[in-house]
Chain A
Amino acid sequence: MLELRLTRAGLLKKVLESIRDLVTDANFDCAATGCSLQAMDSSRVAMLSLLLRPDGFEHYRCDRNISMGMNLANMARMLRCASDDDTVTINADDAQDKISDYEMKLMHITSENLEIPEAGYEAIVKMPASLFARICKDLGTIGDTVMISVTKEGIQFFTRGDIRTANIFCRKTTPVAKEKEAISIEMEKPVSLTLALRYLISFTKATPLAKQVTISMSYGRPIVVEYKMEIMDHIRFYLVPKVEE
């Protein structure tokens, strides 16, 4: 028996709006430790990992591990019926293949789960989520890849289009900067990755969920873009960099 009750449907709505374009169908794996979802996009170039902890729910009962295959667009459409302040309850009986009052059809999705090594990163940047979203959107109008370079001074975004190039440099702020404007950098060594902007722009749909975004980079490894949600936990997006031919 699974019974989840969330007092603020708005948060779940924002979570779904931020992932439904990247991934169409995915398994919600619910256990006593929380609900997690890990899925790759159709091109298998990007991946997302979502964790919703039990203490973010008003009521969380999960008698045994259950995996619910869902079409995220249907789930997002269904949740649109709830206003942000509504309470949403998700029930799933072990045997049945539907959830809650909306009788949403569950699907059987064979998804391969990937193991993400908790490796260290050469550079970790924390910056305002809205600034990162605006930079990705603006650069997306000029080129389709962005070179993100981190040095101890700051983080630089460079893109080259047919008619022009754009270079945005965000300087690291002093420790006294207000949290919502702070740009902090932990760095072992300078690192630079070239990434497809359309995926980064898709990741920034999660901007409403968090004030800050954490960008973790290691040369030649997937970039990790993480939005920490104050009560629920996190959404992490992974994107493989482009490598020179």
Chain B
Amino acid sequence: QGVQLSITEFYRTT
């Protein structure tokens, strides 16, 4: 079913 990454892997915190 695949691995679910976190959204913070893609958008850096400001």
Contacts and interface: CB of A to CB of B under 8 A. Distances in A.
Contact of A46 (B2, B3, B7): B7
Interface residues of B, number: 14
A149 B13 CA distance: 29
Contacts of A240: 4-7, 9-10
A44 B11 contact: no
Interface residues of A: mostly helix, strand, loop or mixed?
Answer: loop
A5 interface: no
A115 B12 CA distance: 6
A44 B8 CA distance: 7
A145 B10 CA distance: 20
Contacts of A44: 6-8
10 contacts: A44-B7, A47-B7, A112-B13, A114-B13, A144-B1, A238-B11, A239-B7, A240-B6, A243-B3, A244-B3
